[in-house]
A and B are shown apart, each in its own frame.
Chain A
Amino acid sequence: MSHLLHFAVLIVCCITAVRPLARARWVQRMPRTALALWQAIGLTLELSLIGLLFSALFAPANQGLLPGLARIATGSVATDPVGLLAATLGGLLIAARLITLAMTCVTTARERRKHRDLLRLVARADPALPGVEILDHPAAAAYCLPGRDSSIVISTGALGMLDSAHIRAVIAHERAHLRQRHDLFLLPLLAGRRLAPRSTALSEVITAVRLLLEMLADDTCCRTRSRHDLADALTRFSHDPSKLATPAGGFAAADTGLAARTARLLAPEPAHSAARSITVIAVAATLLATPLSLFVLPI
């Protein structure tokens, strides 16, 4: 029984942590650590869910999951129907997760390739801005296209409202996204939305993680560029803040994030003490280690 209980407790812990963490402000002072915590929570939740479903098979023996599975495979233990049903559900859950993940990867790669094909035909290079594709369009847009053949794109509309210092800051920010592969961090979450399209909690998590990724890219950018240039560039993208407040589905917070990012750049709060970071890392590690150990150890 104890395996079942452990997994259940872990799941409850993770789920109750989600909303407070998504709304927390202290995480903005340590985006990298907070992202590690998010990753630990996500993995723990999934592993525990799978563990819970499979552990019903082994509850009487109180073995670790993997030794238990091995014994079942060799046919040396009798199985009850409830346990089998739960284990089947667990198998289906794993399959569904993997399939949606693959689907998201494939569609994303296809859309990116389409975008890149067009970009190659119409974007132009500027010797003054190496590595940047320029789109001749009066609206302001700056973005990056992650992937193997990544690119940074800025429209002439955006170039027109930015000084060269701003532009360098924008490029450094986008480069941080590309180098640190922030798109890969988001991928499992976005794939999760295929399984739970209406989950408001998941939407909240995605918004929070997105904002943390932006802040991480901001921080990386500020190692080589001035905070004020980046903040100024952000402000110029949001010259009409009332529009940013317009809710657009679950993504409005991405825009309110613009204000949070600017404020954070202009008036940086002191970094958290090392002790606090270590505590968070320790919590994340403990969280993740628990289901993993339950997979192999008997209790």
Chain B
Amino acid sequence: MRRSGELERAVMDVLWESREPRSAKEVLAALPEEKLAHTTVITVLDRLTHKGLARRERAGRSWRYAPAASRESYVSSLMIDALGRAPDREAVLVHFAHAMTGPEADALRSALATADGAGDAVDASGAVDAGGADNAGGADDADEGSQSGDTGQDRPTS
């Protein structure tokens, strides 16, 4: 399990680093590890696609793969998980303290309203960047507003 997890991570790293979609062969060539079979890489790419972490498109007779979202947006969707207090998700993880501080946390809170998981996380990360700059001054208002919204409608589809 751990082994395949490391491989997924290495493959995603390759996809994130390249600017355009890559074929399995190109991914294999870019991987630092040498002794991998072509089919192994295809299996990993398929699994990543199945999990919704990568996207693929036809290119001639083969597939080309690209990340479904940027690394930053995955990080912020994890942070949103860590921050979120939707009643149906409170069993998922245990916080050290039910608080996230700093202007970025406020931006994340406001991103809670729009973001819902990895698929939409691109928008979430955009909101984080924009909000982080804007909110530094009036963070308290943004915080209160989004905390009250927090209770009900933050995750409409889950």
Give A contacts to B, CB under 8 Å.
Answer: 104, 107-108, 111-112, 114-115, 117-123, 135-146, 149, 153, 155, 157, 161, 170, 173-174, 177, 182-183, 186-187, 190, 193, 197, 233-234, 237-240, 242-244, 246-251, 254-255, 257-258
Residues of B within 8 A of A115 (CB): 78, 81, 92-93
Q: Judging by beta carbons under 8 Å apart, are B8 and A254 in contact?
A: no
| A139:B102 contact, CB within 8 angstroms | yes
Write out the residue numbers on chain B whose beta carbons fall within 8 Å of the beta carbon of A157. 100, 102, 104
- What number of residue pairs across chains A and B have CB atoms under 8 A from each other? 148
29 contacts between A and B (CB under 8 A): A112-B92, A114-B118, A115-B78, A118-B74, A122-B71, A122-B74, A123-B78, A135-B79, A138-B102, A139-B104, A141-B105, A143-B94, A143-B95, A144-B94, A149-B1, A161-B101, A174-B94, A190-B91, A193-B87, A237-B99, A237-B101, A238-B99, A246-B143, A246-B147, A247-B147, A248-B85, A248-B148, A249-B85, A251-B90
Given A140-B101, A251-B85; 18 other pairs, CB 8 A cutoff:
A115-B93, A117-B53, A118-B53, A118-B77, A121-B53, A122-B74, A135-B78, A141-B79, A144-B96, A145-B92, A173-B96, A177-B94, A183-B91, A237-B101, A247-B148, A249-B87, A251-B90, A258-B99
Instruction: Point out the residue from B1, B83, B132 that lies within 8 Å of A141, measured CB to CB.
Output: B83
Residues of chain B whose beta carbon lies under 8 Å from any beta carbon of chain A: 1, 5, 8-9, 12, 51, 53, 71, 74-79, 81-83, 85, 87-102, 104-105, 108, 117-118, 132, 140, 143-144, 147-148, 150-152
Closest 9 CB pairs of A and B: A249-B151, A142-B96, A237-B97, A139-B104, A139-B105, A108-B91, A141-B82, A111-B92, A254-B98
Residues of A within 8 A of B75 (CB): 122, 135-137
Known contacts A143-B82, A248-B147, A249-B150; is-contact A121 B88 (Cβ 8 Å): no
Known A-B contacts A120-B8, A142-B97; A243 and B92 likewise in contact (beta carbons under 8 Å): no
* Assembled-state Cα–Cα distance A186/B78 (Å): 22
In the complex, chain B residues whose CB is within 8 Å of the CB of A244: 99
Contacts of B89 in A (CB 8 A): 111
- Which B residues are CB-close (under 8 A) to A237? 96-97, 99, 101
User: Least Cβ distance of A194 to chain B in Å?
Assistant: 9
Please give, as numbers and ranges, the residues of chain A lying within 8 Å of B105 by CB-CB distance. Answer: 139-141
* Highest count of chain B CB atoms <10 Å: which of A117, A170, A193, A197: A117
Interface of B is mostly: helix
Tell me the smallest distance from the CB of A197 to a CB of chain B, in Å.
Answer: 8
The closest CB in chain A to the CB of B81 belongs to: A115
* Interface SS of A by simple majority: helix
Most chain A CB atoms below 10 A, which of B51, B71, B97, B102: B97
* A143 contact set on B, CB distance < 8 A: 82, 93-96
Q: Is the CB of B94 within 8 A of A122?
A: no
Query: A122 to B76, alpha carbons, bound, how many Å?
Result: 10
Check if A118 sits within 8 Å of B78, measured CB to CB. Answer: yes
| Choice from A118, A146, A197 contacting B94 with Cβ under 8 Å | A146
- A123 CA to B100 CA in the complex, in Å? 18
A182 touches B94 (CB 8 A): yes
Q: Do B100 and A187 have beta carbons less than 8 Å apart?
A: no
Task: State in angstroms the CA–CA spacing of A173 and B1 once bound together.
Answer: 27
Are B74 and A107 in contact (CB-based, < 8 A)? no
Tell me, in angstroms, the Cα distance from A183 to B147 when the chains sit together.
24
Q: CA–CA, A257 to B148, complex, Å? A: 19
Residue of B whose beta carbon sits closest to that of A120:
B5
Interchain CA distance A107-B150 in the complex, whole Å: 20
**Chain B nearest CB, measured from A13 CB (Å):** 29
Q: Which of A118, A137, A240, A255 contacts B98 (CB 8 A)?
A: A255
| CB-defined contacts of B148 to chain A, threshold 8 Å | 247-248
Q: Which residue of chain A has its CB nearest to the CB of B98?
A: A254
B79 A243 Cβ-Cβ under 8 A: no
> What residues on B are CB-neighbors of A186 within 8 Å?
91
A174: chain B residues within 8 A (beta carbon): 94, 96
Nearest A residue to B158, CB-CB: A111
In the bound complex, residues from chain A placing their C-beta under 8 Å from that of B76 are 137
Give complex CA distance A151, B88 in Å: 21
Complex Cα distance, B74 from A71, in Å, reads: 60
CA distance A227 to B51 in the complex (A): 43
